[in-house]
Chains A and B, each alone.
Chain A
Amino acid sequence: MATAVVNPLDVTIETPGVRAPLVTGGHDYAAITEMVTRIPLDKRTPIGWWIAFIPSAIIAGMFFAAISYMICTGVGVMGNMSPVFWAWPIVNFVFWVGIGHAGTLISAILFLFRQNWRTSINRAAEAMTIFAVMTAGVFPAIHVGRIWVIYWVFPYPNQMAMWPNFKSPLCWDVFAISTYFTVSLLFWYLGMVPDLATLRDRAQGKIQQFAYGLLSLGWTGSATSWHRFEKAYTILAAISTPLVLSVHTVVSFDFAVSQLPGWHTTIFPPYFVAGAIFGGFAMVVCLLVPARAFFGLKDLVTLRHIENMNKIILATGSIVGYAYGMEFFVAWYSGNPYEGFTFVNRAFGPYSWAYWTMIFCNVVSPQIYWFKWARTSPLISFIVCTFVNIGMWFERFVIVITSLSRDFLPSSWGYYRPTQVDVMILIGSFGFFLTLFLLFCRFLPMVAMAEVKGVLPHPEHSAGKSGH
């Protein structure tokens, strides 16, 4: 009934009724194992990896140097001023937490929706999630100024009888993010155990054998192990799903429970979640487009994967655009003069440059994804996703800074400018994040081999034919 696949090599062509293969190149089980394991097991580290790693590590060093300087000198070295008391760190924090959404969305929600294409990208995306949440966690810790008493944010019985304010969403943030981080880490690690065992079994060096042996927790691959593994995986997926939503929901509460115009609006929770997925997927594309080329994973992370992610970016970007629109409409419809002023001020006030940067990057640039040639071009994807990352950072900047900088009384107006330390911390955070991600690429299985093998069409058949 259905026509044959026009070109079995081009998986981006959709023929209704025929499911395109998720992996190209007609590889069998052994070939996939070889393709993935040779990266961490290779004794010689590729030069290209060093070329990326060394600058990243230097920038990460700068990150910690700037933070140390800030802690030793005091938070006064940051640009925070009256009335913008809450500035750079919260912007960076929300940005990085947002990035940390795609991984668990791919692993948990796409898993529950039976989107099998996720298997090629979930491992790297989850790793990215963990590193992004780690990066995010730095900011609330450092911005308090006295980092040596940061444990006060946790509620524990103490002789000072001092408790965090349970009525504050900032307090809920501590719980939401630490829970999310813990579950994401468990999910990532659990999914990696069978692959770590494969590395253990193929490792040549003593140190490698020991390290992977330790990490693989004595995995034997028996039927019982697999049975329990799959049960645990499903349960963790179900637990992670509400967590993905809860984290950015609580982050949005940080703003939306207030009465500040531009912060207080009821659409904030789903709008923040959609924005986080939007930004998170853009980061996955930015990392995987170079990684798949460099590590020779183009048959696993195919153009169809890139296209699917770009479609999700277009969809979630549209949800974000919808929220921008609703905010604007209700700012006018409410008749509230402060609300109305805030939005006009955003678009035409002193920070209009930031606002229009955000609109261009988040709303205009993804529109090119309406065209298939753009969705399936790694280069264009990389460029657009870089724009999206910039735009999502500016979104948080616009929300935080424009609302604060013009207080209710014009006498309390100000213009916030970041200092050099601020800028160094922001750039440095990328270095920290990339360092961790590059270490992951070098030493851990970047693709979930066991899961990819599960979605191969007919692995026992000869190469080149999509077995339909």
Chain B
Amino acid sequence: MHSQPAEITIDRQQSLGDISLAVRSLGVPAGLVCLAAAGGLSLATADRGIAYFLNAYLIAFMFFLSISLGCLFIVLVSFITRSGWNAGLRRVAEMVAMGLFPMMILFAPIALLVIMGNSDLYRWNDAKYMQSSELLSKKLPFLNAQFFVIRYGIYAVVLCGLARYFFRTSLAQDKTGDPALTLQMERTSTWGAFLFAFALTFAAVDWMMTLDPEWYSTIFGVNYFAGGAVAAHAFLIVATMTLQSRGLLKNITVEHFHDLAKLMFGFTCFWAYTAFSQYFLIWYANIPEETKFFLFRQGGQELQTGWPNVSLALIIGCFILPFVGMMARGIRRNRNMVFFWALFILATRYLDMYWIIRPNYQPKADVLLGPTFGLVDVLCLIGIGGIWLGSVVFIAGRHPIVAIGDPRLKDSLRHKVA
């Protein structure tokens, strides 16, 4: 039934290294400069200090981390499900997943500050505060600097190990085309997914949920994962289209973008589902230590902070607009529209991280602070993004941008959405 193209050729020399010299050589240094400037700027502003910088740093960090984690998830699921349609673009995901290396290094300064006793970011690192209530003092076996850093080490080993394994094995397959490697990666992906789920969940809990040590939610890890899956699909679309405009990845067609857009749409719904579950159940039961999270962001009672507007923007931007906007099949098959929605979704993913993390920046005990956004945030975003992207391009180097040895590549090249 399928009309099969007579011969499909792929350029075996395609690699990122040739075309992105600027990003490759400038990404990391420019990122470092931006971060230094952000830190300096924040310290120079009297009422902000390091606390503001760390908060802005963490928002950007969790945002880019979620893209790399999402890409690792795509790689894992591709092997678990023996997926063929995306074999032609899986290499891009493998490369972006390698961005976990720079991300894990970028968390080291925070871990170092925590071990040095800094409690500007993580309040639980302040012994006096933790002893102030019985509820908090019970959490000390988990919320302490040593265990926090040990856990960070475990996440780093697990996540980087998985990313590296799939990248290296897939590269090895480029040379031999050995199908046994695919089977090997399939086997690893199954138990790898367990390690991945464990590391991602507790990383999200450690690095974001414990910002407010009193608050807790069992779905928190799932929510961060869902956001990461959305972000990763959006980033893959943006990256693939950008590379195509530079003459790479010619074999990725509207059929693949259609499927990527469908997945982006589906995970957007899943993210909304987890976010709603979290909100709704906490709102309904109204238990004080849970409700406080939303009470502040919803601006309940006498709070007049401007956060309700951000919450509203989050609902509209992360769910309602993309949901309505991407529902039509015609839009998901329109290159420009898919590109637009992918960019839009990336922007709202940042908003989500901002909405979770920024309210924890409360320098004054008596006045509650509304949403703030400034040059420090922008510099942190560019800084972390630059280091992340620059490292990805550097690691990707002159390796083929397509998994040319994958035995299922031909499925991908002939992929048609029925």
Contact = CB atoms under 8 A, between A and B. Distances in A.
A267 B418 CA distance: 35
Contact of A17 (B190, B201, B222, B408): B408
Best-surrounded residue of B136, B280, B289 (most CB of chain A within 10 A): B280
B45 interface: no
B221 interface: yes
A327 B135 CA distance: 18
Interface string A31-48: 000000000000000000
Interface stretch (B27-35, B270-278, B370-378): B270-278
Interface residues of A, number: 37
Contact of A318 (B135, B194, B273, B282): B194
Interface string A99-126: 0000000000000001000000000000
B179 A16 contact: yes
B287 interface: yes
A1 B135 contact: no
A264 B289 CA distance: 13
Interface string B217-228: 111111000000
A381 interface: no
A2 B407 contact: yes
Given A318-B194, A326-B201, A259 B407 contact: no
Interface stretch (A77-85, A329-337, A358-366): A329-337
Contacts of B177: 1
B281 A270 contact: no
Nearest to A318: B194
Contact of B139 (A253, A256, A326, A335): A335
Contact of B407 (A1, A264, A327): A1
A327 B217 CA distance: 9
Interface in A317-331: 318, 322-323, 326-327, 330
A335 B277 contact: no
Best-surrounded residue of A242, A266, A269, A333 (most CB of chain B within 10 A): A266
Question: Which secondary structure dominates where chain B touches chain A?
Answer: helix
A327 B285 contact: no
A258 interface: yes
A18 B179 CA distance: 10
A327 B282 CA distance: 15
A17 B281 contact: no
Contacts of A253: 280-281
B385 to A, nearest CB: 31
Contacts of A258: 285
Contact of B217 (A242, A259, A266): A266
A265 B218 contact: yes
Best-surrounded residue of A17, A18, A256 (most CB of chain B within 10 A): A17
Nearest to A314: B190
Given A2-B179, A17-B407, A335-B138, A322 B277 contact: no
A330 B287 contact: no
Contacts of B274: 270
A419 B92 CA distance: 61
A266 B278 contact: yes
Contacts of B410: 1, 17
Contacts of A318: 194
A15 B281 CA distance: 46
20 contacts: A17-B407, A17-B408, A18-B407, A242-B269, A249-B273, A253-B280, A257-B280, A257-B281, A257-B285, A266-B218, A266-B219, A267-B222, A268-B277, A269-B273, A269-B281, A270-B273, A322-B197, A322-B201, A326-B218, A330-B218
User: What 9 A-B pairs are tightest by C-beta distance, nearest first?
Assistant: A17-B407, A267-B218, A16-B182, A16-B407, A266-B219, A257-B284, A16-B179, A335-B135, A335-B138
